[in-house]
Structure 1
Amino acid sequence: MLRRLDGKVELATELDRLSAEDPVAAAAPRATGIASYLTHGINTEMAAGNDDGPHWRLTLQLLQRLSIWWHPGGYAQLPTMTPWCIRDRSARYDQGPESWGAPREDGYLRDDNSIIKKLPLALPVIAAADHIYTDGKAWRGFTACHIWRNLADGGVGGTDPWIYSFMANLVWIPSPLNSLTDHHPRVQALLQVTSQVIFRGHEGTSTAAYTDHVWNRLVPPGNPTSVVPEMDLDELAFF
């Protein structure tokens, strides 16, 4: 039977494991506040000219161990999972009249990430034998993060029905780390490079023309495509 994984618990467990040898991990908040703690540390290190400081290395370790990605085998078959959905936070009750799931004028379902975050919950997590997630499935305490929020052409990824649920644009991480992916450009760049290496070149024959179109919106032609990830792909976890 698969273990039910709680992202917040797994984050605290990983920080406890690292604390024996890493004072930055030992001092880190175990839940709310850790994203601000890491952001402040990274920015301070970078302002001092240190691009490989202890706060950045801890951030890298946590994302390496605690992120969950879609498997490229699934991407080859169904790169966009719910092309009838777009992100529209205004559909929820705290933004106006409750209208989640109601169609826009053009027919697309208005979602607030609710559909996206539940897509992999029934799936096992595939990882190395000694990985913290082995024999588990995501249960709670994770956030589905969009890797490309703002597009180079000025568009917003969440409002494009082909990009909103594009597998290569999504990663699940423990919820307390969520704002790192939303607001820190270095973390966004790390995940974008990792996604390109995982997914580009793994398209299925019937989907290649479409995925080329999407990648050209995410990474415009002329941008470097030969990228070296800082994360070890062999040690990542996948749905």
Structure 2
Amino acid sequence: MTRRFLLLFSVLFLLPLASHAAWWPWQPLAADWRRADWSSAALLPAAAIEPEATVHVFAARVGRWRGVFAHHSWVVVKEAGARAYTRFDVVGWGNPVRVNHREADGRWFGNAPELVAEVKGEAAAALIPRIREAVKSYSYSEYGTYAAWPGPNSNSFVQHVLAEVPELGHALPPTAIGKDWRESGLYAGWTPSRTGIQASLYGLAGISLGWVEGIEINLLGLVAGLDLRQPALKLPGWGRVGF
């Protein structure tokens, strides 16, 4: 039994992570945060020419060696007729919760973001007040409450928003380490999307079964599994691999 577990762990977790670690140094990586590109990735139109209300969730690889296995995520909203986007994310220095800390669709440590979720029009207008309330209700907004691993971190914050507003209907990437962290330590209940069930121990071990989240097995913050709604593999390091 032990040998089978070790073999399964190696195939599902260690091999994908090791292969991504070998590939990562060949990417054009910034030497440090000062020399990294934090500019807009031009994924959003100028707010002044976008009349509708919009909601976006983005995620981008973090900097240097941590990019091997982790993403940073954030939430962007814009009310109908507003001439600017509002970005909410959590960082690991100073007061964690930041508003418009970077460009709404800015690169993170030089890495271009990927779109996780998008809602527009009347549906977005209805969700934005609830998103703003979810940001206000986040429990770890004081100095010293941030923990990169296992959480609460930037992904714990966005997962909190997704759980408070399940109508957003999307899951964070499997490489969003900290998304499964729970303040109660041992958690058993609904997934954030309310489309399945989840059990987690401090975000260090757990399992999720849901239509939006798919099948996820979490060990030490690394996730392996399957995306059921949009068929794909979920692999440590590589993240979601599919169409």
The two structures have a TM-score, normalised by structure 1, of 0.28
The two structures have a TM-score, normalised by structure 2, of 0.27
Q: Report which structure shows greater RCO (CA 8 Å, sep ≥6).
A: 1
More helix per residue: 1 or 2? Answer: 1
